[in-house]
Amino acid sequence: MALYRIPGRENAIHYFPEIESTMDEARNMAQKGCPAFTVVVAEQQRKGRGRMDRQWVSTKGGLYFTLVLRPDINPADCGRVNFLVSVVLANLLRKEYHIDAGVKWPNDILVDGKKIAGMLSEMATDGHRVQYLNIGIGLNVNNDPCRVEPNATTMKMLLGERVRRTTLLGRFLNLLEEAMVQMTWEQTLAAWRNLTVTLGRPVRVVTTREIVEGTAMNVDDTGALILKTTAGTTQKIIYGDCFINPS
């Protein structure tokens, strides 16, 4: 447990050397009433997963955690929290580690076209309010995922040195807690657009029903992607996985 002992958060960080999935454990804790900003962090996950049920390879040395949030918002607004989390993480990498991180819709973090972090969210509702919103994050820090994920990069590779994960996690949690109080949705969306590597690019979007190709034109006020398809139509995509096509 001492590995992730963060001053002021000693009772909120739950560390596991190995676990099936931090998201599964966080769900159990959330259902039992754990407080907001409870964190489940693991050195390795046996069944880590990303968006669209893809496997997230959790090689040793990465930062893998799920954060339990309890925002007082409507379920339809949960996507806004996802955008905020990606903005906070990308800005942390840029400002404090001098890594040129950008956000890819909906909430991946890329550096020079290579993935450094991915996110997954899960929520439960109670009537018209959110009961909990869990955000799972996999960040490549000191690990080496490139043997199985060739289009990935890590903080260690970019900086040429190891990064202290406890400091990184603590700083992220502090910045996110501040941003959830201080930043409006309009500010979050503007910040996301400023950091985006998606808009104006040819993309392929995989949804649960179809695969759509076209140019990513914008995101609307809900965070949905506005796509000008190769057929010349305009399509709004609420949920999916986005891949940037070669120009």
Q: How far apart are CA 111 and CA 100, in angstroms?
A: 6
Task: Return the pLDDT at 126.
Answer: 86
> Is the pLDDT score of 169 beyond 80?
yes
Distance CA 232, CA 39 (A): 45
pLDDT confidence of residue 52: 47
Return phi, psi of residue 23, to 5°: -65, -40
pLDDT at 198: 95
Mean pLDDT of 76-87: 94
pLDDT at 97 > cutoff 80: yes
- Mean pLDDT, the chain, whole residue set: 91
User: Average pLDDT in the 3-25 region?
Assistant: 87
**Which residues, in sequence order, are CB contacts of 185 under 8 Å at separation 6+?**
77, 80, 221
Domains of the chain: 2-195 (3.30.930.10), 202-244 (2.30.30.100)
H or E element at residue 133? strand 129-139
Which tens digit of pLDDT belongs to each residue from 26-79? 999 999 999 999 999 999 988 765 554 566 667 889 999 999 999 999 998 999
Compute the distance between CA of residue 127 and CA of residue 115 in angstroms, rounded to an integer.
Answer: 37
* pLDDT for the residue numbered 88: 98
Taking a C-beta distance cutoff of 8 angstroms, is the pair 37, 68 a contact? yes
Q: Is the pLDDT of residue 2 over 80?
A: no
pLDDT band with cut points at 50, 70 and 90 for residue 138: very high
Q: Please, which residues bridge with residue 118 across strands?
A: 138
Q: What is the pTM of this model?
A: 0.92
Nearest to 198 by CA among 95, 116, 113, 135: 113
Residue 157, class by beta-carbon neighbours within 10 Å (0-12 exposed, 13-18 middle, 19+ buried)? middle
Confidence label for 146 from pLDDT (cuts 50, 70 and 90): confident
Tens of pLDDT along 104-118? 998 899 999 999 999
Reported as a pLDDT band with limits 50, 70 and 90, residue 119 is very high
Rounded distance, CA 185 to CA 78, Å?
A: 11
At 33 the pLDDT is 96
246 pLDDT above the threshold of 70: yes
Residue-level pLDDT at 215 = 96
Residue 199's contacts (CB-CB under 8 Å, 6 or more residues apart) are 193, 216, 217, 218, 219
